[in-house]
Amino acid sequence: MDDRVQDRDWIAASAVILDPTGLHARPAVKLTKLAKTFAAAVEISADHGVGWINAKSPNAVMKLKAGPGLPLHIRAEGEDAAAAVDALVALVERDFHD
Partner 1 sequence: MTDAAGDERSFKGLGVSGGIVLGYAHVLGEQVCTRARGFSSVEEETRVFRAALGAAAAQIEALIAGEDKLAGDILEFQLALLEDDDLLEPVFSRIAGGMACDAAWAAVMDGEIAEYRRGGDDTLAERAADLADLKARVLRVLGGAGAEGGPIRDRSILIAAELTPSAFLGLDWTRLAGVATLGGSPTSHVAILARARGVNLMVGLDAPLDAFTNGTLLLLDPEQGILTLQPDQDAMTKAMGRMAEAAKEGKSAHTLLRRAAVTADGRRVYVLANIDDPDLLGTLWPNICDGVGLARTEFLFQRSLPGEEEQFAFYYRLIGWAGGRPVTIRTLDAGGDKPVPGLTIDGEANPFLGVRGMRLSLARPEIFRVQLRALLRAAALGPLKVMVPMVTVPAELETVRAMMHAELADLERAGAACAMPPLGMMVEVPAAALTAASFAADFYSIGSNDLIQYTMAAARDNASLSPLADPLNPAVLELIRRTVEAAHARGVEVSLCGDMASTPAYIGALLDAGLTALSCAPAQIGPVKLAISRYRPQSGVAPR
DSSP state, residue 67:
P
The only residue of 19, 78, 87, 89 in contact with partner 1, by rule CB under 8 A: 19
Closest CA to 76 of 41, 32, 52: 41
Q: Map residues 35-64 to x or -, x wherever contact with partner 1 holds by CB under 8 A.
A: -------------------x-xxxxx-xx-
DSSP state, residue 98:
-
Active site residues: 24
CB 17 within 8 A of CB 83: no
Closest distance of CB 58 from partner 1, Å: 4
Q: Which is nearer to partner 1, 12 or 18 (CB)?
A: 18
**C-alpha to C-alpha distance for 40 and 27, rounded to whole angstroms:** 20
DSSP state, residue 18:
-
Say how many residues touch partner 1, by CB under 8 A: 25
- Which residues of the shown chain bind partner 1 in the complex (CB under 8 A)? 19-22, 24-29, 32-33, 54, 56-60, 62-63, 65, 95-98
